Structure 1
Amino acid sequence: MPTVGFIYPDHAAEDDYPFAEALFGGRYSLPVEHIYGTDLHAVPELLDLGSERRLAEGAARHARHEPDAVVWACTSGSFVYRWDGARDQVDKLAAAAGRPASSTSFAFTNAAAHLGLTRVAVAASYPADVAELFVAFLAAAGIEIVAMSSEGIDTAAEVGRLAPEAVVALAVGNDHPAAEAVLIPDTAMRTLGVVNTIEERLGKPVLTANQVTIWEGLRLVGETPESDELGTLFR
């Protein structure tokens, strides 16, 4: 069975991964292993969270699963390194795991390219300075950001407690007429259960952190499953 290991920081919305595994009918194994640090959305803390040492620890935890690929399931803990640093980060993770590797930040840019998206709106839960680093990361991939919102939520734990209707409101309330899609970049936010609802409300694709992370991991192992439950990306 194809197996993708996800390294997830602390605890918030990791139940999106077994949710997806169930939607795929058990055809793929999507184990989650945790690394621990502060869950503060602040640059110094995020740089520590995504450090080579911590990700090597996550890779070691996944050894028992014998994954075919590993993904650092954290957007802010990857884009905070900027483009070149994030590339170095996943290269070092791949070396530590002995497997192909990626991160949620690259999952967003790869998913956008897959769907041919060049103009997007960003609906971020982060404080503004962190959200702006995500915008800069997307711009480095040639993606135009026509609107960016920041909810200013300081910790991943707080994001993980958002009710489904709050997640929908965040996305719908921060769309822009010129945007071809809306991007929601926090893996601490539960989105898989509402992505179709958001797309129906907006009439356009929505890319969410856990959604693209799962897609990216399966892409790394050469699998592109279809699902009617996980948005345009999986259809």
Structure 2
Amino acid sequence: MTTVGLLYPGHAAEDDFPRIEITLDTDVRLPLFSTDAGEGAYRPDALRGSGAPERLTEGVEELRLAGAEALVWASPGGSFVYGWAGAHNQIATLARSAGLPASSTAFGFVHAVRELGAGRVAVAAAWPEDVTALFADFLAAGGTEVVASRSAGLATAAEAAGWEPGQVKELALAADHPDAEVLLLPDAALHTAAYIPELEEALGKPVLTASQVTVREGLRLTDRRVWAPTLGTLFATHRPVPGAVEPKGIEVRE
């Protein structure tokens, strides 16, 4: 059995993870702890607050007792708003607290793009433009070029959680660009796990979503590969592109 512990901010689209666990139909387990997300606003200051060390560590002991072998902070915005170096420090603090390998969904996007052998992406974000710009800067720091982006301008995670599949698809199509090899839907508050192949068919290219990437990042930390094409191209690739293998996540043990 492989157990990946997830720290998820508040309550929005966390039900995507039990769906993914069922879809994988393996011995992978994804226990989740909902951290305090504060007001759940899509502002840089609020997102930084959601990723504060005391909020990230509050669920560590519960996930350790659940048998977690690695931890993933399942909030892209609560990570990349700290910048590349700041996000590394954030995850190092989490790993030190847990005594386990740790990462975040934000780093998971960088690793997933590399695993697919891509370098240019389009970003379809529910966030306001200033937050989306911070994500683009983070991706650039990790060697990924954003060739196009579209921001829906939503104010809170609660708004994003209420979106229907048709709204997500419309945003994705509006954000896409011919030069983009992959399209990213990076908001962890959007429900996407049930229809990733449908999105990929509509766009004609791989689609990476927050919940899908979060799980893949956790499995990467545990050296576990799972084939599940119903979760899109990322889970339909048996082997990573040559040269795309990433080192394991940050691990700090006392």
Report the TM range for the smaller structure's normalisation: over 0.9
RMSD: 0.8
Query: Is residue 159 from structure 1 mapped to residue 152 from structure 2 by the alignment?
Result: no
Task: Give the whole-Å Cα distance in 2 for the aligned partners of 1:112 and 1:3.
Answer: 24
CA contact (8 A) 1:121 1:146 kept: yes
How far the C-alpha of 1:183 sits from its partner, in A, is: 0.5
Q: How does 1:21-170 map to 2 (within 5 A)?
A: 21-36=21-36, 37-170=38-171
How far the C-alpha of 1:224 sits from its partner, in A, is: 0.9
How far the C-alpha of 1:26 sits from its partner, in A, is: 4.1
Task: Give the whole-Å Cα distance in 2 for the aligned partners of 1:26 and 1:224.
Answer: 11
Letter in 2 for 1:2: T
Which portions of structure 1, spanning 4 or more consecutive aligned residues, are displaced by more than 2 angstroms? none
Tell me which residue corresponds to 2:20: 20
| Structure 2: stretches of 5+ with no match in the other structure | 237-254
Q: Secondary structure at the match of 2:168?
A: helix
How far the C-alpha of 1:166 sits from its partner, in A, is: 1.1
How far the C-alpha of 1:63 sits from its partner, in A, is: 2.5
Tell me which residue corresponds to 2:183: 182
CA contact (8 A) 2:150 2:174 kept: no
Task: Give the whole-Å Cα distance in 1 for the aligned partners of 2:223 and 2:108.
Answer: 14
Task: Give the whole-Å Cα distance in 1 for the aligned partners of 2:51 and 2:58.
Answer: 11
- TM-score of the two chains, using structure 2 as the length reference: 0.91
Task: Give the whole-Å Cα distance in 2 for the aligned partners of 1:188 and 1:164.
Answer: 13
Deviations 1:68-121 (A, max 9, x none): 000000000000000000001111111111110000100000001111110111
Letter in 1 for 2:9: P
How far the C-alpha of 1:212 sits from its partner, in A, is: 0.4
| Structure 1: stretches of 5+ with no match in the other structure | none
Tell me which residue corresponds to 1:217: 218
Q: How many residues align?
A: 235
How far the C-alpha of 1:64 sits from its partner, in A, is: 2.1
Residue identity (%): 48
Task: Give the whole-Å Cα distance in 2 for the aligned partners of 1:110 and 1:15.
Answer: 24
Task: Give the whole-Å Cα distance in 2 for the aligned partners of 1:192 and 1:117.
Answer: 22
Task: Give the whole-Å Cα distance in 2 for the aligned partners of 1:111 and 1:198.
Answer: 17
Task: Give the whole-Å Cα distance in 1 for the aligned partners of 2:143 and 2:99.
Answer: 30
Q: Secondary structure at the match of 1:173?
A: helix
Task: Give the whole-Å Cα distance in 2 for the aligned partners of 1:165 and 1:194.
Answer: 10
Query: Is residue 207 from structure 1 mapped to residue 198 from structure 2 by the alignment?
Result: no
